[in-house]
Amino acid sequence: YKIVQVTPKDTEKVLEHLRKFFFREEPLNICIKLLGENGDEECLELEQYCAQTIPEGLSLMAVSASGKVIGVALNGSQEPGHLEEMEAYADSCPHPRFRKILQLLAAVDRASDVFGKFPDVDKLVEVRILSVDSAVRGRGIAKVLLEKSTELAKQHDYPLIRIDCSSHFSALAVGRLGFECVFKMPYEDYRQNGEPVFHPEQPHKEVKTYVRRLRP
């Protein structure tokens, strides 16, 4: 396979991959039944969330020899002061289940306080979506996508890359690559109206924020 940059004309084939894998298999999407009881509903809000990141030109995909998309890293830029906008975007999401996920991500963003922890960082690249075809998992494709995403962010002169890992496996992958964990929150501790919102299957116990500095 080869790693190539995702351009706006690739949007539909990237979404086709994500609908099949990420939408169905990311731990929070599973436990909240994002696609409904029978798994046959759409989530246009997640599609839009994915698609709107692509024009930033920071995203990569793994493409097989036959031209099939087998892995995706959708990456976007973040600047200080983005939090209010993100919280408003989350709260106004019309899809009730995806709204819960956006609200969790906004809460993690606020609590992890990456810009507070790294005061010299004025912008960063965030890995928003990481997905690999289930037929080829465990072969290091996610790690290659993350490594190449790091290089691309560095080329664009970003001082830091971050990822909020909802999955135990994405956390293992970034840990291997030398990313530093700067925040974690057990799902048990994330509550709305006093009740935990997410009960993902083992081994997914917590959401973890990892960063890597791209400048000495």
Positions touching ligand ACO (CB under 6 A) are 21-22, 25-27, 127, 129-132, 137-143, 163-167, 169-170, 172-173, 176
What is the dihedral sign for C-alpha 73, 179, 210, 57? negative
C-alpha closest to that of 127 among 159, 176, 174, 91: 174
CB of 193 to ligand ACO, least distance (A): 26
CB of 146 to ligand ACO, least distance (A): 8
Nearer to ligand ACO, 138 or 194 (CB): 138
Give the CA dihedral 64, 23, 158, 170, nearest 10 degrees. -80
Nearer to ligand ACO, 123 or 143 (CB): 143
CB of 70 to ligand ACO, least distance (A): 9
CB of 216 to ligand ACO, least distance (A): 26
Residues 173 and 197: their CA atoms lie apart, in Å, by: 26
C-alpha closest to that of 108 among 133, 126, 131: 126
SS3 44: helix
Nearer to ligand ACO, 46 or 141 (CB): 141
Nearer to ligand ACO, 195 or 201 (CB): 201
